[in-house]
Structure 1
Amino acid sequence: MALGSNLAGDYASCEALLEAALARFPQAGLAVVARSSWWRSAAWPDPSGPEYRNGIALVEANGDPREVLSALLAVETSFHRTREGKNAPRTLDLDLIAHGRHVLDEPGLVVPHPRAHDRRFVMGPLAEIAPDWVHPALGRTAGELAAAAKVGADASPITPPSRSSSPALC
């Protein structure tokens, strides 16, 4: 699962919001097995927007990809996620990046995620915790994909986690 935020909402920082979202995963039937550090990157495609925080969680889930996606959307809703337009700032964005070795292309669900392989803010955190993970459709590892990613090329891990001067932005 990919997690992202560039509006902290009611939380002190985007990192705090993302931690709270991770803490909610077990209630949604998603057992977190491993997780990356939080990464920062400029807003995309308009870098003048609030900076993003992103990360990856490897989870065990009972259910098919559609059920897992439904659980993720329910967690987003519980954090007051609104969809105001493509690439608009958001409190919480949860994406199903892959589900085992499944390759699906159905209305409302494409697995693996159709653009994750070209996003450093997704592949970088994934490579941090599972560098040898192999993309089910492309046959390339997370490490290879992170090195080749074009979108979010500025993405880098936050060490230590940063603190935002504004509670509303990251």
Structure 2
Amino acid sequence: MSNISILSLGGNQPSKIGSPKETLTFALRSLASREVIILRESSFYSNPAFPKGSGPDFVNSVAVIDSQYKPSELLEILHEVEAECGRRRDVRWGPRTLDIDLIDFAGRVLPDHQVYHRWSNLSPEDQGKLTPEHLILPHPRVQDRAFVLVPLSEVLPDWKHPVTGLSVAEMLRNLPESDRNEVVRLPEA
């Protein structure tokens, strides 16, 4: 059984691998060496750190993958790759060498709709303080993050949110234009 999933990758600090772009490229290759099939990769994009002014701009991308892993197993592998690239979890939303978020896993809602809705409706203040004890899918903030949706529109424009049914384009239209404009595609070379 295949498990088509969406990953969001980002970083704004150099790692032992190199620049954030080099680190994101390395992370995808490291995942591939762990039997994760990379189906599509977006271009690299730049966007300001969150909260604004909290650090250098981030480099972000999105990958569509397939694997035979269960969601918890895939999350464990993502954390292994983050650690391999020097990721430390000192400050929520702080600068980092690599962050890999599992955005969607085969359209599943985990652990259930009630928990998903509780986390997706957290106040901005609580979002900055609370960390879930277990994996929540789809990612409860995907609809709020232009830095995920812009590259996602490049590689999987037909994806629909498993809970709301909104398309990538609809979620992007719901964001302020200023948020969308802050996500800038980086040159290839």
The answer, yes or no, to whether TM exceeds 0.5 is yes
Cα RMSD, aligned residues only:
1.7
Q: 1:30 aligns with which of 14, 22, 36?
A: 36
Structure 1 residue corresponding to 2:173, chosen from 139, 147, 162 = 147
Partner of 2:153: 127
Offset, 1:74: 0.9
Q: Is the 8 A contact 2:54 2:94 kept in 1?
A: no
- Alignment partner of 1:10 out of 7, 16, 29: 16
- Paired residue type of 1:46: K
Query: Which sections of structure 2, spanning at least 5 residues, go unmatched?
Result: 1-6, 116-132
Report which of the two has the higher share of helix.
2
Number of corresponding residues = 161
TM-score (norm 2): 0.79
SS of 1:96 mapped into structure 2? strand
Taking the aligned partners of 1:152 and 1:10, their CA distance within structure 2 comes to 31
- What is residue 187 of structure 2 aligned with on the other side? 159
Question: How many angstroms apart in 2 are the aligned matches of 1:45 and 1:152?
Answer: 12
Q: Quick check: 1:61 aligned with 2:87?
A: no
Q: Give the equivalent residue in structure 2 for 1:50.
A: 56
Identity of aligned residues (%): 33
Aligned partner letter, 2:165:
G
Aligned-pair CA distance for 1:152 = 4.5
Question: Higher relative contact order by CA 8 Å / sep ≥ 6: 1 or 2?
Answer: 1
| Aligned: 1:109 with 2:135 | yes
Deviates further, 80-89 or 98-107: 98-107
Which sits farther off after the overlay, 44-53 or 69-78?
Answer: 44-53
How far the C-alpha of 1:48 sits from its partner, in A, is 4.5
- 5+ residue gaps in structure 1? 162-170
1:156 positional shift? 1.9
Cα deviation, residue 159, structure 1: 2.5
Distance 1:152 1:92 in 2: 22
Deviation at 1:79, TM superposition (A): 0.9
TM-score (norm 1): 0.88
